[in-house]
Amino acid sequence: MPKYYEDKEEDGRPCAGVREDLRQCLLESPCVLRENKSPKQCLREGCCKSLQATFFACKRSMVSVR
């Protein structure tokens, strides 16, 4: 579920909301908190898979000519 942040600065980049949700998901995941791995490693291991897929689809829709 997307979260809306009223206190944060406006991010003009495409897919900014999904990007922020993915970032928060990774930083709050047990992989980062308990195992002290980097968010990049946790992403490769499959943490936050649904948000990763949503972010990929959002970015892909920007370049797709369909």
pLDDT band at 17 (very low <50, low <70, confident <90, very high): confident
Q: How far is CA 38 from CA 3, 20, 24, 59, in A?
A: 23, 17, 13, 23
Q: Which residue range forms the structural domain that includes residue 27?
A: 16-61
Number of domains composing the chain:
1
The pTM (predicted TM-score) of the whole model is 0.75
Q: Cα torsion for 11, 12, 17, 18, to the nearest 10°?
A: -120
Within the chain, residue ranges assigned H as helices are: 16-27, 30-33, 39-45, 49-63
- The answer to whether residue 4 sits within a structural domain is no
Q: Is residue 2 part of a domain?
A: no
- Give the span between the Cα atoms of 2 and 46, in whole angstroms: 19
Taking only the tens place, the pLDDT of each residue in 25-48 is 999 999 999 999 999 999 999 899
